[in-house]
Homo-oligomer: A and B are copies of this chain.
Amino acid sequence: MQDVFSYIEQNRETYIGWLQDICKQPSVAAQNRGMKETADMVERFVREIGGEAEQLETSGYPVVFGQFKGESERILSFYNHYDVQPEDPLDLWHSPPFGAEIRDGYMYARGVADNKGNLMARLAAVHACLQVRGKLPVGVKFIVEGEEEIGSVHLEEFVEKYADRIGADGCVWEFGYKNADGRPQISLGVKGMCYVELICRGANTDLHSANAAIIENPAWRLLWALNTLKGPDERIRIEGFYDKVASLSDDDQLMLEQMIYNEEDTLEKLGLKSFLLDLKGIPLKEKLIFQPTCTVCGIVSGYIGQGSKTVLPAEARVKLDFRLVPDQDPHEILALLRKHLDEHGFSDIEIQSFTLEHPARTPLNNPLTRAVVNTSKQIYGMEPTIMPMSPGTGPMYILCQHLGIPAVSVGVGHFASNNHAPNENISIDDYIQGIKHIAAILEEFAKEV
């Protein structure tokens, strides 16, 4: 592979430029900003490096679908997304979120880690192989959706409509990170999600807060409702919530024990003294990987500007995400939440549901997992850490597990890439190393039996 690796090094600046170009193009699905421009740009990239490309329509943003022939029948697909999270809070960014500024070896941009860095590394790897060898060892498919950050709301529709196009022998999933000590993480699944907004309403207008003595405050009601969902012990109090949580297999236990999670570096980087509930070691890793969550992602009511305003709010809203583990079902969790609120006297609180995604897992022992693990050792010079499941979420169930396609996550982010947060970044060296890793995986996957 040294010929391909050398080519990648020689074209380092070109590949960095590709990444800057796409990062400078906003693509915020939640706000419908720059979505068409970005889909067009991805389609153009696939074409320019020698693939066939088209935009497959859905009821939402189109999926960019790319295809490259290979020497063998085996097909490797790449699942990525061209949409990004909203960039606020803006004032915490040290450079413009869509500036793609490079400082001290890191590129900063909304989406550079999640998910444009991985998308461009994979396109660059295919480009390098074709330039050097004139052909690819396996067939390649790119499935690049535009709604991952809003819960892949039309991906199920896409899978049904284009089932004949997306078949593959393995899928390299969209994300991947290095630990604080530089060790690559490979993960073999994702948590599911039930994302909801709860809305509690009071009087038909905001009122002077003197009225709060006798008029119900929807902010207090929402707080009390939330308090019935989870207390400081972190146990989710919805009846039946844990009923379908699968117990850990011996393999899971072993993977947890072997999984490397650098507690000290993580805490230092985040300015924290301890993890939640003072967890450490295996119980910490088990909670991260195998436990579902209930998270306040956003809450708002009343006056939130500078200084004081004495107002009794008319409305209060909270955004909650439940991350789910096998075999929880997001639709069932949504129904349990409704039932819980009703039974606790909060039937007036409205639920709007957003993302509903199943958890998914890939077995440890299959050709793709082996190809990714073996090449990791070559590229990074150390054993990767294998996570039995990522604490993050994605449509792996409908796109892979459901179709019997093994999916493995590996990529160019690092533990402090600030995905979904201000100053999102990746290391330029990680990006170049990630391009080489994908090139190596293409070759290795052709050989694995």
Residues of A within 8 A of B (CB): 29-31, 85-86, 88-89, 92, 114, 149-151, 191, 193, 195, 197, 202-217, 219-221, 223-224, 226-227, 230-232, 270-272, 275-276, 279, 284, 287-288, 291, 293, 295-313, 316-317, 319, 321, 323, 345, 354-355, 390-393, 418-423
| Cross-chain contact of A420 among B209, B270, B418 (Cβ < 8 A) | B209
Q: B296, A420: Cβ atoms under 8 Å?
A: no
Q: When chains A and B are docked, how far (Å) is the Cα of A276 from the Cα of B218?
A: 11
Q: B297, A215: Cβ atoms under 8 Å?
A: no
**How many protomers of this protein does the assembly include?**
2
Residues of B within 8 A of A300 (CB): 299-300, 304
Q: B213, A323: Cβ atoms under 8 Å?
A: yes
Residues of B within 8 A of A316 (CB): 296, 299
Pick 14 A–B contacts, CB within 8 A, sort by A: A30-B305, A193-B310, A206-B420, A209-B321, A210-B391, A212-B293, A213-B288, A215-B272, A297-B311, A298-B303, A298-B304, A299-B299, A308-B321, A310-B420
Residue of B nearest to A203 (CB): B270
Q: When chains A and B are docked, how far (Å) is the Cα of A300 from the Cα of B211?
A: 22
Q: When chains A and B are docked, how far (Å) is the Cα of A291 from the Cα of B210?
A: 11
The minimal Cβ–Cβ distance linking A370 to chain B, given in whole angstroms, is 26
Known: A298-B311, A306-B31, A422-B206. A284 touches B86 (CB 8 A): no
Q: A303, B214: Cβ atoms under 8 Å?
A: no
| Cross-chain contact of A214 among B230, B287, B422 (Cβ < 8 A) | B287
Interface of A is mostly: mixed
The minimal Cβ–Cβ distance linking A222 to chain B, given in whole angstroms, is 9
The minimal Cβ–Cβ distance linking A412 to chain B, given in whole angstroms, is 16
Residues of B within 8 A of A272 (CB): 202-204, 215-216
Q: When chains A and B are docked, how far (Å) is the Cα of A230 from the Cα of B217?
A: 12
Residue of B nearest to A352 (CB): B308
Q: A354, B307: Cβ atoms under 8 Å?
A: yes
Q: When chains A and B are docked, how far (Å) is the Cα of A34 from the Cα of B89?
A: 28
The minimal Cβ–Cβ distance linking A189 to chain B, given in whole angstroms, is 13
The minimal Cβ–Cβ distance linking A86 to chain B, given in whole angstroms, is 6
Residues of B within 8 A of A393 (CB): 210, 310
